[in-house]
Amino acid sequence: MKKILITGGAGFIGYHLAHHLLADDGNELVLVDNLQRGKRDTDLLELLKNDRVSLIEADLTDHKFYQSLPDDFDRVYHLAAVNGTKWFYKMPQEVLRINVLSLIYILEWIRGLSKKPKLCFTSSNEAYAGALEAFNQLPLPTPENVPLVISDTFNPRWTYAGTKLIGEQFVIFYAAAYQFPAVIVRPHNFYGPRAGYDHVLPEWSQRIARQEEPFVIYGADETRTFCYITDAVEAMQLLMDSDSTNGYPVETVHIGNTDEITMSDLAKKMFAAAGWTPQKLEYKPSPPGSVKRRLADISKIKRLVGWVPSTSLTDGLKKTFEWYQAHPKK
pLDDT in tens, 281-311: 999 998 766 778 888 999 999 999 999 999 9
First-to-final CA distance of the chain? 39
Of the ranges 12-26, 83-97, 294-308, 312-326, which one carries the lowest mean pLDDT score? Answer: 83-97
List, as own/partner pairs, every contact residues 149-158 make where C-beta atoms lie below 8 angstroms and the sequence separation is at least 24, other chains included.
151/289, 152/289, 155/288, 155/289, 156/88, 156/89, 156/92, 156/95, 157/85, 157/88, 157/89, 157/287, 157/288, 157/289, 157/290, 158/88, 158/126, 158/130, 158/289
Q: Does the pLDDT at position 324 exceed 90?
A: yes
Q: Could you read off the pLDDT of 222-253 as tens digits, one per residue?
A: 999 999 999 999 999 999 999 999 999 999 99
Are the C-beta atoms of 258 and 188 separated by less than 8 Å?
no
pLDDT band at 176 (very low <50, low <70, confident <90, very high): very high
C-alpha 18/C-alpha 22 separation (Å) is: 6
Q: What is the pLDDT of residue 133?
A: 67
Q: How far is CA 129 from CA 44, 162, 251, 319, in A?
A: 33, 11, 19, 28
CB 1 within 8 A of CB 27: yes
Say if residues 213 and 280 touch (Cβ distance below 8 Å).
Answer: yes
Burial of residue 109 (number of CB atoms within 10 Å: 0-12, 13-18, 19+) = buried
Query: Would you give the DSSP letter of residue 263?
Result: H
Domain boundaries, the chain: 2-190+229-256+295-310
CATH no. of 2-190+229-256+295-310:
3.40.50.720
Dist. CA 199–CA 89, nearest whole Å: 14
Instruction: Give the pLDDT confidence of 186-219 residue by residue, as tens digits.
Output: 999 999 999 998 889 999 999 999 999 999 999 9
Which of 124, 80, 75, 127 lies closest to 105 in space, CA to CA?
80
Give pLDDT tens digits for 8-57. 999 999 999 999 999 999 999 999 999 887 778 999 999 999 999 999 99
Instruction: Inform me whether the pLDDT recorded for 173 exceeds 80.
Output: yes
**Coil, strand, or helix at residue 215?**
strand
